[in-house]
A and B are shown apart, each in its own frame.
Chain A
């Protein structure tokens, strides 16, 4: 019980860090310090934080362009993440990747991919390598429900099922693919049903409670580790911000967004911790330390050097 309590304290702080980090990223974007596309994860934090809490150091994570939360939950530092957004050489991809392409070889974060669905076979390949070497590591692959229509998703599941790869594919169903609601992109509304066609295990749950996310993803991770069998999971969640910073968001109402915020997982975790006896002083201290970490990351990013021209050709080939 004390363990679960300590764990929730840690997961709550991770979720809050992601949220504050992204709020700062959005500010930096409006100041022109961050360019290109910026896809925020705000609202979905419990999904990455709960899921990645199940992993060990040898496991791998592959995600989409909506990758800041994933990287932070994987332990990539706020400094390296913010510096990447600022395009600085101290960033996790040396400033050459930007928001959509967070990589960290040491933390086994293999992108940050910008082509919808294109990373799912790649993730299956990472799982293949673990199995090939006889290691017990697993790979977690994240995608949006909009990616369930594309071929790469299906080919990857088909092969992962056939070859029994230790892959967990997590569809983060945030209800919209850019401006298109799920009902207009898929003929079913439960994307985990796609598992039936491949004969693999499936699960589906809300990301309201970060500990529940951890428990459920943990079952799939254990299955992959013990028996090298893949699982398809749909995590039901919601993004509070636009698809990217340039999305006017006319396809949904303010009321809908407010309603979704009622089940906010960060607020939920706070309530649970308060019920367990923690009070204002504790939460003020968490806010303070998270703010300090984000401020430090912003300062670090601001003061870091730009990547040099010599990297343009140097990084094209190994």
Chain B
């Protein structure tokens, strides 16, 4: 075990997979000479050369498509979006090409490609630069989506994503890049589609992922002081979705809350709520609740931004609302 920052864990995953498989290469804006807009790819150009660490112009649709074609032709591209917001420019490539190739070709072609980059809000970057993309991408059959919350998962899930034969979106988080955590030594791979229990308690089940995990854990720390102990489950993979631990927990607690940064309409939280109410109906003592980002574009103003993103306070209020039912 070593302590690594989230960004260093991602970098290790990239470097190890590039060592292991000569077909793995990186492409994106400022990933090479600039060492990465958020320094995830620092040092990789020097180590692997410009053939495998490729700086692109600002042309998301173009380089996402080039990645998809290269994947169909047998390579394993890792495409960095400077932030997930800019993947919107490449949405057609991801939706209509990456996700469809296998089915449309009757299984003759596959598309083993990773699209990665920071998802969600940063700090006061406004409406176009603060968006969560899990609802868009998990909606699409043919894609896999992961959202690592810890350095260990950042490394393990990225390695699994690179080895997977399907298009995988790795939703990182700018606010997590600097966070440190223990990362197991060696070839550490976290399988896609396995959620993790992060904290135990009998009172309620709280389900979350990504940046909302530390926020939720902070809320549950406070609630524990009031004598309210919660199970906290980190989904890690959003598609495929592993709800086994969630359903087992709800069987024990009878209460469930989903915490997400993204907008409330539809989305991953709504999917989780639907599954819990159908598959654990008898155990439930009340409705499954959600704490979500506010249903509005992100405002620039600091105070309004704080009111738009779930905080430990709003999560704690959500749990109390469950208990009051």
Interface on A for B, CB 8 Å cutoff? 35-37, 87-88, 93, 95-101, 113-118, 146-147, 149-152, 177-180, 184-186, 250-251, 306-307, 309, 311-313, 315-316
Q: Please tell me if the beta carbons of A180 and B34 are within 8 angstroms of each other in the complex.
A: yes
Q: Please tell me if the beta carbons of A98 and B126 are within 8 angstroms of each other in the complex.
A: yes
A311 to B127, CA, bound (A): 14
Q: Please tell me if the beta carbons of B58 and A147 are within 8 angstroms of each other in the complex.
A: yes
Total interface residues on B, CB under 8 Å, equals 36
Binds A, one of B59-67, B157-165, B207-215, B228-236: B59-67
B227 within 8 A of A: no
B129 within 8 A of A: yes
Distance to closest chain A CB from B29 (angstroms): 7
Binds A, one of B16-24, B238-246, B291-299: B291-299
**A312: contacting residue among B33, B124, B296, CB under 8 A:** B296
Residue of A115, A152, A186 ringed by the most chain B CB atoms within 10 A: A115
Q: Please tell me if the beta carbons of B296 and A118 are within 8 angstroms of each other in the complex.
A: no
B96 within 8 A of A: no
Q: Please tell me if the beta carbons of A36 and B300 are within 8 angstroms of each other in the complex.
A: yes
| A residues near B122, Cβ cutoff 8 Å | 36
In order of increasing CB-CB distance, the 6 nearest A-B pairs are A98-B300, A35-B124, A149-B57, A36-B124, A179-B34, A87-B301
| A residues near B127, Cβ cutoff 8 Å | 96-97, 101
Q: Please tell me if the beta carbons of B55 and A180 are within 8 angstroms of each other in the complex.
A: yes
A307 to B29, CA, bound (A): 35
Distance to closest chain A CB from B94 (angstroms): 15
**A35: contacting residue among B33, B60, B61, B123, CB under 8 A:** B123
Supposing A178-B37, A180-B30, A312-B308 touch, asked if A36 and B57 sit within 8 A by C-beta, the answer is no
A177 to B37, CA, bound (A): 12
| B residues near A96, Cβ cutoff 8 Å | 126-127, 299-301, 304
Chain A proximity mask over B298-316: 1 for CB below 8 Å, otherwise 0:
0111111001100000000
Q: Please tell me if the beta carbons of B34 and A35 are within 8 angstroms of each other in the complex.
A: no
B128 within 8 A of A: yes
Supposing A179-B33, A312-B299 touch, asked if A151 and B294 sit within 8 A by C-beta, the answer is no
| B residues near A185, Cβ cutoff 8 Å | 57-58
**B89: contacting residue among A87, A118, A186, A312, CB under 8 A:** A118
Q: Please tell me if the beta carbons of B88 and A100 are within 8 angstroms of each other in the complex.
A: no
Distance to closest chain B CB from A175 (angstroms): 14
Chain A proximity mask over B112-130: 1 for CB below 8 Å, otherwise 0:
0000000000111111110
A251 to B33, CA, bound (A): 8
Please give 6 more A-B residue pairs, beta carbons under 8 A apart, in addition to A100-B125, A178-B29. A93-B300, A95-B304, A97-B127, A100-B128, A179-B30, A313-B295
Distance to closest chain A CB from B158 (angstroms): 24
Distance to closest chain A CB from B215 (angstroms): 19
Distance to closest chain A CB from B194 (angstroms): 35
Secondary structure at the A interface, as helix, strand, loop or mixed, is loop
Distance to closest chain A CB from B6 (angstroms): 18
A47 to B212, CA, bound (A): 44
Q: Please tell me if the beta carbons of A150 and B60 are within 8 angstroms of each other in the complex.
A: yes
Q: Please tell me if the beta carbons of B296 and A316 are within 8 angstroms of each other in the complex.
A: yes
Secondary structure at the B interface, as helix, strand, loop or mixed, is loop
A151 to B64, CA, bound (A): 13
Q: Please tell me if the beta carbons of A95 and B62 are within 8 angstroms of each other in the complex.
A: no
Query: Can you list 26 A-B contacts with CB-CB less than 8 angstroms, sorted by A residue number?
Result: A35-B123, A36-B125, A87-B300, A87-B301, A88-B301, A95-B301, A96-B126, A100-B129, A113-B128, A115-B89, A146-B57, A146-B58, A151-B61, A177-B57, A177-B58, A178-B29, A180-B30, A180-B33, A184-B55, A184-B57, A307-B299, A309-B307, A311-B304, A312-B299, A313-B295, A316-B295
B109 within 8 A of A: no
| B residues near A118, Cβ cutoff 8 Å | 89
| A residues near B304, Cβ cutoff 8 Å | 95-96, 306-307, 309, 311-312
Q: Please tell me if the beta carbons of B33 and A87 are within 8 angstroms of each other in the complex.
A: no
A161 to B272, CA, bound (A): 49
A3 to B125, CA, bound (A): 43
Residue of B29, B55, B299 ringed by the most chain A CB atoms within 10 A: B299
Q: Please tell me if the beta carbons of A115 and B297 are within 8 angstroms of each other in the complex.
A: no
| B residues near A186, Cβ cutoff 8 Å | 57
Distance to closest chain A CB from B309 (angstroms): 12
| A residues near B91, Cβ cutoff 8 Å | none
Distance to closest chain A CB from B308 (angstroms): 6
Q: Please tell me if the beta carbons of B89 and A178 are within 8 angstroms of each other in the complex.
A: no
A100 to B123, CA, bound (A): 14
Q: Please tell me if the beta carbons of B123 and A36 are within 8 angstroms of each other in the complex.
A: yes
| A residues near B296, Cβ cutoff 8 Å | 312-313, 315-316
B188 within 8 A of A: no
Supposing A95-B300, A96-B299, A180-B34 touch, asked if A151 and B59 sit within 8 A by C-beta, the answer is yes
B300's nearest neighbour on chain A, judged by CB, is: A98
| B residues near A307, Cβ cutoff 8 Å | 299, 301, 304
Distance to closest chain B CB from A55 (angstroms): 26
Supposing A115-B88, A149-B57, A184-B55 touch, asked if A101 and B300 sit within 8 A by C-beta, the answer is yes
Q: Please tell me if the beta carbons of B30 and A151 are within 8 angstroms of each other in the complex.
A: no
A88 to B302, CA, bound (A): 10
A114 to B30, CA, bound (A): 17
| B residues near A99, Cβ cutoff 8 Å | 300
A146 to B128, CA, bound (A): 19
Distance to closest chain A CB from B64 (angstroms): 11
| A residues near B307, Cβ cutoff 8 Å | 309, 312
Q: Please tell me if the beta carbons of A117 and B301 are within 8 angstroms of each other in the complex.
A: no
A277 to B180, CA, bound (A): 63
Distance to closest chain B CB from A26 (angstroms): 16
Q: Please tell me if the beta carbons of B126 and A100 are within 8 angstroms of each other in the complex.
A: yes
| A residues near B281, Cβ cutoff 8 Å | none
